[in-house]
Amino acid sequence: MDKEMCNISKRLVDEEEVVEVEEEEEEDDQSERELSNRIFSVDSAEEEEMDEKEKMLNIANLDEPIGGGGGGGWANDDCDEDLDNVNFFHRVNSDQIIYQTKKRKLKLIGKYVMGDLLGEGSYGKVKEMLDTVTLCRRAVKILKQRRLRRIPNGEQNVQSEIKLLKKLKHKNVISLVDVLYNEEKQKMYLIMEFCVGSLQGMLESTPKKKFPLFQAHNYFTQLIDGLEYLHSMRVIHKDLKPGNLLLTLEGDLKISDLGVAETIDLFAEDDTCHNGQGSPAFQPPEIANGLESFPGFKVDIWSAGVTLYNLTTGLYPFEGDNIYRLYENIGKGEFTIPEDIENPLRDLLLGMLRKEPEERLNLQEIRQHPWFGRKPPRNSYEVAVPPMAGDQLHNMTVLPYLRDHFYDDDYEDVEDGDYSTTAGNAAATRTADTVAGAEHDEYDEDDDGVRYYTERDLNEERRKIDEEHKNGGSAQMNNYHHQHQHCTKRRWKKPISCITVKRLPGCKQS
């Protein structure tokens, strides 16, 4: 009898434990559903009512079977079936997708205001800057110490370039204005003169990849002026090429990138060097053949000769499938000059590209050469600097950041005649005028003064702009100038880059 009572009590205890485990599992399922509902919830009245009904069902019928018997299912099973049929994402039509003009964030580094990206190299990025004190345009080279450590001799080359640029000052050598450090972000900012482009970019923008002779003569004479100054300061560049020759807005040539340059000791007997680190296609035969020592000044003479060959012919005197074939051809010193290159330019190229360094022309002999002293006739068009991001005039990229920071987002001063815009920007500008008047009730401005435009409106305006261009948009643009010549406030044309979804009254769950 006692044994039977013990067995009955054990079974009761086990049944209570099973019930407790089931209750804990039900509570865990309920918490998981509440968490998923919070994550995938949609802010609409219908979903809130559905969530409230679901909670009431779960609370009232947590442990009660449907129908009061053991054969029926649980209330949560029906709720799970209902949740399977619920779509937590609602469809958004194209007319409810709106485009918001992204506000440019003003970034200040010391006394300099940061602009747009100008280019990027192996060492870092180059951006435009504005000096807030002198109001001069500058270019900044942003270097990260973490990135420099990955480059062989990266940190040493940067420190050497900074040391050289601080003591060099010439019209045809890039000037270092300031050096800033950010210890927290481990960044270094080299503020330099502003240049609009390089000779390499200009060559690539032309079909024949070369300059007219009068234009190449102008750049070459400036190159020799800058190179003569570097050699007078006992500095050997070692990496002269069109990519390292920059141009200012005034057309002045600037020798840049002195990272691998070497300074000859003041008490050294001659200009002997022991290592070469320049671009392979511009290296002389003595470096290609692996000589341990060679005259440094003649290395720059050879590189200047290859540069002149490239500017006037659009080709390279030595080429190869790989660097080994290239160095093999350079070491032989055999090359041909196109037939359209006549004397005295042909004679100058042959003198600068002689295989033996001792026979190569020096700077004084180059200055006395007939082609150097006589400018070729201007018989063709001059190659222009390619536009920067579609801007033919190379306008300052810092100004939009200043406008967004100090002035209203919707109304800005526009200079007379500044209507050269793309179809997309023109459509956005036209939309700001037409939609604000015709559909102001539907698309109202927010409290922060930002106006929204739907995709349908923008597409309609782009279509109108395309039709205007096809049907003589110039006449309509002149009429537009005449109608708005007394307006001093215009809407500023902003790039459309940020996509958001605006909650409209007609937006419902699908």
Largest CA distance in the chain: 130
Q: Of the given ranges (19-23, 139-143, 290-294), which has the lowest mean pLDDT?
A: 19-23
254 is written with which tokens?
């600037």
Q: Quick one: pLDDT at residue 208?
A: 92
Q: Quick one: pLDDT at residue 453?
A: 63
From the number of C-beta atoms within 10 Å of its C-beta (0-12, 13-18, 19+), residue 170 rates as middle
Has residue 175 been placed in a domain? no
Residue among 43, 63, 225, 239 flagged as catalytic: 239
pLDDT above 90 (res 417): no
CA–CA separation, 207 and 5 (whole Å): 104
The strand pairing partners of 498, in sequence order, are 100
Q: Cα separations (Å) of 50 from 19, 43, 84, 199, 450?
A: 29, 12, 13, 68, 35
Of the candidates 261, 228, 231, 229, which has an alpha carbon nearest to the alpha carbon of residue 244?
A: 261
Q: Quick one: pLDDT at residue 349?
A: 97
Has residue 37 been placed in a domain? yes
* Chain mean pLDDT for the chain: 77
pLDDT band at 25 (very low <50, low <70, confident <90, very high): low
Bigger pLDDT: 247 or 122?
247
CA–CA separation, 315 and 308 (whole Å): 10
Q: Quick one: pLDDT at residue 440?
A: 40
Bigger pLDDT: 139 or 101?
139
Instruction: Confirm if 209 and 313 have CB atoms less than 8 A apart.
Output: no
Has residue 297 been placed in a domain? no
CA–CA separation, 196 and 307 (whole Å): 20
Strands, E assignment, 234-346? 235-236, 245-247, 253-255, 262-263, 272-273, 294-295
Q: Residue 61 belongs to what domain range?
A: 2-65
Dihedral sign from CA coordinates of 309, 311, 315, 318:
positive
Has residue 272 been placed in a domain? no
Strands 187-193 and 176-182: antiparallel
Q: Quick one: pLDDT at residue 264?
A: 93
Q: Quick one: pLDDT at residue 390?
A: 81
Choose from 43-52, 82-91, 414-423, 442-451 the range with maximum mean pLDDT. 82-91
Which residues have a Cβ under 8 Å from the Cβ of 383 and sit 6 or more positions away?
Answer: 202, 203, 205, 206, 211, 212, 215
Q: How confident is the model over 436-476, as pLDDT tens digits?
A: 444 444 434 444 445 566 777 778 888 888 887 777 645 54
C-beta atoms surrounding 384 within 10 Å: 11
Q: Quick one: pLDDT at residue 277?
A: 83
Residue 239 annotated as catalytic: yes
Has residue 33 been placed in a domain? yes
Bigger pLDDT: 85 or 293?
293
309 is written with which tokens?
């060959």
Q: How confident is the model over 313-367, as pLDDT tens digits?
A: 999 999 999 999 999 999 999 999 999 999 999 999 999 999 999 999 999 999 9
CA–CA separation, 40 and 81 (whole Å): 17
Domain closes at, from 27, 46, 65: 65
Q: Is 94 helix (H, G, I), strand (E, B) or coil?
A: helix
Strands, E assignment, 309-451? none
Q: Of the given ranges (282-291, 367-376, 402-411), which has the lowest mean pLDDT?
A: 402-411
Domain closes at, from 44, 65, 86: 65
Q: Of the given ranges (11-15, 112-116, 244-248, 428-432), which has the lowest mean pLDDT?
A: 428-432
The residue type found at 483 is Q
409 is written with which tokens?
């987002």
Q: Quick one: pLDDT at residue 76?
A: 53
pLDDT band at 510 (very low <50, low <70, confident <90, very high): very low
Strands, E assignment, 196-330? 197-198, 235-236, 245-247, 253-255, 262-263, 272-273, 294-295
Q: Quick one: pLDDT at residue 153?
A: 84
141 is in an annotated binding site: yes
111 is written with which tokens?
């006394």
Q: What is the mean pLDDT of residues 181-192?
A: 93
* Residue whose tokens read 């192996």: 122
Has residue 254 been placed in a domain? no
Total domains present in the chain: 2
Has residue 398 been placed in a domain? no
The residue type found at 17 is E
Instruction: Confirm if 348 and 371 have CB atoms less than 8 A apart.
Output: yes
Instruction: Confirm if 300 and 352 have CB atoms less than 8 A apart.
Output: no
Q: Cα separations (Å) of 381 from 211, 246, 297?
A: 9, 20, 35
* Residue whose tokens read 């979903």: 47
Has residue 87 been placed in a domain? no
Q: Quick one: angle between helices 213-232 and 296-313, nearest 10?
A: 170
State the alpha helices, DSSP H only, in 40-113.
45-60, 75-85
Of the candidates 83, 68, 73, which has an alpha carbon nearest to the alpha carbon of residue 36?
A: 83
Q: How confident is the model over 32-75, as pLDDT tens digits?
A: 565 455 544 444 445 555 555 555 555 444 444 444 444 444 54
Instruction: Confirm if 353 and 306 have CB atoms less than 8 A apart.
Output: yes
436 is written with which tokens?
């604000």
Domain closes at, from 14, 32, 65: 65
pLDDT above 50 (res 488): no
